[in-house]
Chains A and B, each alone.
Chain A
Amino acid sequence: MSSNNPYIPMPVEISNITNEVDTNDIKTFRLTFLNKEDEKKFKYLPGQFAELSIYGKGEAPIGIASSPTEKGYVEFTVQRAGTIVPGLVTAALHNMETGGKIGLRGPLGHPWPIEFLEKKNIVIVGGGFAFTTLRSLINYMLHPDNRSRFGRITVIYGARTPGLLLYKDELAAWGKREDIKTIITVDKGDETWTGREGFVPAVCKEVAPSPYNKVAVICGPPIMIKFTLPVFFDLGFYKENILTSLEMRMKCGIGKCGRCNVGYKYVCSDGPVFSLAELEELPRDF
């Protein structure tokens, strides 16, 4: 956020664009700060988000996909929105090229509870496009400075097709490491796919992580969440130890504009990270 005004974005430049999927509608934008002081002030942890700001179009709240251990830039994986309502900001962003300048407001919201995760075994479950802040968390935990702070890491990540998996190079790299167990699944493979097929909930059931000293961090489409949660209940996970990140329409991102209000919480400033126990206290209004 610029100076002392949380509504004014700081300027950033798009230094790299990665086309993530074969449908060409999800890209990762690497942003570098144009003012060095802004970079110093932008201290974040995995799970937080920021408002991407394009004058003339508007702002969109997007989870931070890079890890704070990556220095000199911050990354956002953005889907071109607008099957029903045109997404002005995401469409404009997708039309931009390297060197383009946009605005950034953040970091916003609460991160994944890193201290709570320390010394625990972590099961990360992701579905489709909702893997961005989980990628941030994984890369953060895998960093040599941090790896010893966490126990075993298991990642279960699924997408509809192989072409829709995000961060393919990283997935492959994690697959070769000894200190992380990576299980990738697709709903339906293609002729080149040699990996696992099956829905995320079924894979979770098969993998059946023991709940002992474990935390499950789950992000995905509502349908995946709906069928995955009972699997973890049946395995004996505490509701306090199942974490997720909530989405609501947002504008200000700092708990003032009232838009993302659910019960007595503002998703932007009180979340977006919530435990299942916390979510059960809220009205089903999201």
Chain B
Amino acid sequence: MLKKTTIDKLPDLAAHLMEQGTLLAPVQEAAGFNFQVIADAKQVDLNFHNTVLSPKAAFFPQMEDFVRYQTGKSILEAVPVELNLKPTFLFGVRPCDVKSFTIMDIHFSGTGLVDPYWQKRRQAATIFGYAFDLDQPAQAEEFYKTLGIGAADPDGSDVFMIRKGGDLLLKGVTLKGEKLLTQLSLLTAASADEEKYFEDYIIRGRDFKTRFTFLADKNIAKKLEDIFHDSDFWMKVSGACLSCGVCTFVCPNCYCFDICDETLFSQGIRRRVWDACMFTDFTLEASGHNPRTQVFQKLRQKIKHKYSYHVRKYGVISCVGCGRCTKHCPVNIDIFSIVEEAMKA
């Protein structure tokens, strides 16, 4: 059943959720919007297009502590860090970013050994997806339509939200989401007209215009395999790349990480931290051998991993077209254009 509240009452809704657990929602920061743990319900702000960083940190934090220990002491005294998670509400996630979670699920918990940190954080979370504003044009970098994602797709959300003027319409997509909405007493029932508006909006979202090129997963995967050795192509498209790695840090689907030991005086922590295939020492072996030293090799790895290797391994492209990599690249490298070029090469 469709529920509603008003944007004015957003702090009340936030306060209700904060009573039940941890609320992560978009907050305006100096550099733009980002998801933050909400301490003050009035911070929650839905007047954003999309966040600077993707919301992946909710499930895959930039730093995750595994074990605490004291240097010089026995391994038997090391203490694994337990995750004591409260229910988490991830509020206001755009449909393309919600899609990124389901793609990451395949890697972290759907195949092979299960990553316990990802799985526990996912299980503790309720996702409030939030449709893009269809009355505003998509940003120039976005291309989620190319990847089959609509601007108002509720798939993957537990609750899906659409804004209608000063109102916020909320619908339970999963049983978990539906149950939560029935508990939130400040929500009122929406009218039949609003129900229709909600359903029409989802359909309209599918036709919402972003950059688009026809891209069959298997075709692009094969094409990129075929041009692996075309160094001229890869050097041309990576000519300006600084290997700074910002594209991987803002990406909702980049999951490479390092496991490192950090010590200060006698205190030590083994933790994982985000890492990037764009960094030179990423593949540097102890022998000194490094299979990817040149910039073009690293950018080739990044693009092929997303559009080719991932398709062959997991059956899905590891990109949701959010456009963050292009938007934040300091030298204007545009992954969409490279993929388009690759299809023509």
B-binding residues in A (CB < 8 A): 2, 4-9, 11, 34, 55-60, 81-85, 87, 90, 101-103, 247-249, 251-252, 254-259, 261-265, 269, 283-286
The A interface is mostly helix, strand or loop, or mixed, namely loop
Interface residues of B in 292-342 (CB under 8 A from A): 292, 297, 301, 304-305, 308-310, 312-313
Checking A102, A256, A258 against B75 with a beta-carbon cut-off of 8 angstroms, the contacting residue is A102
A8 close to B284 (CB less than 8 A):
no
B75 close to A103 (CB less than 8 A):
yes
Query: Given A55-B75, A101-B74, A264-B313, are A251 and B112 also a contact pair (CB < 8 Å)?
Result: no
Query: Given A55-B69, A264-B309, are A101 and B112 also a contact pair (CB < 8 Å)?
Result: no
Checking A5, A34, A56, A249 against B76 with a beta-carbon cut-off of 8 angstroms, the contacting residue is A34
Query: Given A101-B74, A248-B291, are A285 and B301 also a contact pair (CB < 8 Å)?
Result: yes
With a CB–CB cut-off of 8 A, which chain B residues contact A263? 225, 309, 312
Q: How far is the CA of A84 from the CA of B285 in the complex (A)?
A: 10
Tally of contact residues, B, Cβ under 8 A: 51
Closest to B305 in A: A261
B286 close to A58 (CB less than 8 A):
no
Tell me the total A-B contact number using a CB cutoff of 8 A.
Answer: 125
Checking B76, B80, B268, B291 against A8 with a beta-carbon cut-off of 8 angstroms, the contacting residue is B80
With a CB–CB cut-off of 8 A, which chain B residues contact A2? 80
At the interface, yes or no: B282 with Cβ under 8 Å from chain A?
A: yes
Q: How far is the CA of A262 from the CA of B216 in the complex (A)?
A: 23
Q: How far is the CA of A51 from the CA of B244 in the complex (A)?
A: 29
B277 to chain A, nearest CB (A): 7
B284 close to A85 (CB less than 8 A):
yes
With a CB–CB cut-off of 8 A, which chain A residues contact B174? none
Choose, from B48-56, B192-200, B257-265, the stretch at the interface. B257-265
Q: Provide 16 A-B residue pairs closer than 8 Å at the C-beta atoms, listed in order of the A residue.
A: A4-B116, A7-B116, A8-B80, A55-B69, A56-B72, A81-B287, A84-B288, A85-B284, A249-B283, A252-B259, A255-B111, A257-B256, A259-B256, A259-B283, A261-B277, A263-B309
Q: How far is the CA of A186 from the CA of B144 in the complex (A)?
A: 60
Q: How far is the CA of A286 from the CA of B285 in the complex (A)?
A: 11
At the interface, yes or no: B213 with Cβ under 8 Å from chain A?
A: no
Q: How far is the CA of A283 from the CA of B229 in the complex (A)?
A: 8
At the interface, yes or no: B202 with Cβ under 8 Å from chain A?
A: no
Query: Given A55-B261, A58-B260, are A85 and B255 also a contact pair (CB < 8 Å)?
Result: no
Query: Given A5-B116, A285-B297, are A83 and B285 also a contact pair (CB < 8 Å)?
Result: no
A285 close to B257 (CB less than 8 A):
no
With a CB–CB cut-off of 8 A, which chain A residues contact B275? 257-259
With a CB–CB cut-off of 8 A, which chain B residues contact A101? 74-76
At the interface, yes or no: B67 with Cβ under 8 Å from chain A?
A: yes
B54 to chain A, nearest CB (A): 16
Q: How far is the CA of A249 from the CA of B259 in the complex (A)?
A: 12
Query: Given A248-B285, A261-B305, are A9 and B313 also a contact pair (CB < 8 Å)?
Result: no
With a CB–CB cut-off of 8 A, which chain A residues contact B16? none
Instruction: For the complex of A and B, list the 7 residue pairs with the smallest distance between their C-beta atoms, beginning with the closest.
Output: A84-B288, A258-B256, A81-B286, A264-B312, A264-B309, A264-B313, A87-B286
With a CB–CB cut-off of 8 A, which chain B residues contact A261? 277, 301, 305, 309
